[in-house]
């Protein structure tokens, strides 16, 4: 039986890139992730006080699916198509996988 995994990513976007990130890069990235094997759901939240701080919650069918997706995404992000997406990032503060207790 597979154990669902919640991937939690907290990151900052460069202030000058925030609008373009929200309107163009994030929706395209979410579509990419939604088509990967084992995907269940994807939700992005924005911080109420620090407007360039985001939280992604991505649910996967298993840790193996999550790790495989992360490896695939790292390769895909190197393409010219996702250059603007990566340029928008200031820093990733947290990237971890969690399982139900």
Domains and CATH numbers, the chain: 5-98 (3.30.70.100)
If you average pLDDT over every residue of the chain, what do you get? 93
Spatial distance between the Cα atoms of 38 and 94, rounded to a whole number of angstroms: 22
Q: How do residues 62-75 score in pLDDT, each as one tens digit? A: 999 999 999 998 88
pLDDT for the residue numbered 24? 92
Kindly give, in sequence order, each residue whose CB lies less than 8 Å from that of residue 31, ignoring residues fewer than 6 positions away. Answer: none
Query: 100 falls in which pLDDT band (50, 70, 90)?
Result: very high
């Amino acid at each position: 039986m597979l154990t669902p995994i919640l991937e939690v990513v907290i990151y900052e976007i460069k202030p000058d890139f925030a609008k373009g990130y929200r309107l163009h890069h994030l929706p395209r990235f979410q579509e990419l992730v939604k088509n990967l094997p084992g995907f269940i759901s994807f939700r992005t939240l924005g911080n109420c006080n620090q407007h360039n701080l985001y939280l992604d919650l991505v649910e996967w069918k298993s840790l193996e699916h999550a790790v495989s997706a992360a490896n695939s995404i790292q390769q895909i992000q190197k393409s010219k198509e996702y250059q603007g997406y990566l340029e928008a990032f200031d820093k990733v503060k947290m990237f971890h996988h969690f399982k139900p207790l």
